[in-house]
Amino acid sequence: MIKNYIKLWDMFLHPQKHPLYIFKYGIFDYYMKIGEALNLLKKDKGKLARLILLRKENLYVEEGKETKFNPAKLSEEINKKIDEIRDLKIKIQKTNLNSMIQDKNISLAEAIIKIGDIRSKIASLSNLFEKDRFSYLYRDKEKIEKIPQIDEVEVEKEIAKLVSEKITLDNSIQIANWNIELIQN
What element of type H or E holds 12? helix 2-13
157 lies in a domain? yes
Answer yes or no: are the C-beta atoms of 21 and 184 closer than 8 Å. yes
- pTM for this prediction: 0.72
Distances (CA, A) of 80 to 76, 86, 87: 6, 10, 11
**Cα 173 to Cα 168: distance, rounded to the nearest angstrom:** 9
182 lies in a domain? no
183 lies in a domain? no
My answer on whether 4 and 44 are in the same domain is: no
How many other CB atoms sit within 10 Å of the CB of residue 97?
12
Specify the number of domains making up the chain: 2
My answer on whether 8 and 82 are in the same domain is: no
- Would you give per-residue pLDDT tens digits along the chain (185 residues)? 455 445 544 554 444 444 444 444 444 556 899 999 999 999 999 999 999 999 999 999 889 888 889 999 999 999 999 999 999 999 999 999 999 998 889 999 999 999 999 999 999 999 888 765 555 555 556 677 778 788 899 999 999 999 999 999 999 999 999 999 999 87
How many other CB atoms sit within 10 Å of the CB of residue 101?
18
Task: State which residues form the domain around 99.
Answer: 33-177
